[in-house]
Amino acid sequence: LPNLKNAGLLFDFIFIDADKPNNPAYLKWALKLANSGALIIADNVVRNGEVINENSEDERVRGVQEFMDLVKANPRIEATAIQTVGVKGYDGVVIAVVN
């Protein structure tokens, strides 16, 4: 990611689907690498409903919670979370637009 930034590359679409404890760091990098109007999609943000558990000690859940707090607090981002249902149970995605 630093190499992309150093090369001056900016993107219109960024997909975040990696280790959940680092989602907050990935969001910060996404904002550094995003053009105005870019779309950011983050996968697996509902965590089978655990993301609303404020007492969770699961580092993956905590990472998603911090990610969501950053999305909410950043005035450059307009976003929504959508729950999905499938054979693996339920989860969801965040769809965000960078202003």
Confidence of residue 61 (pLDDT cuts 50, 70, 90): very high
Sequence-distant (6+) residues with CB within 8 A of 84 are 46, 90, 91, 92, 93
Q: Is this prediction's pTM over 0.85?
A: yes
Q: What pLDDT was estimated at residue 89?
A: 80
Mean pLDDT of 51-59: 96
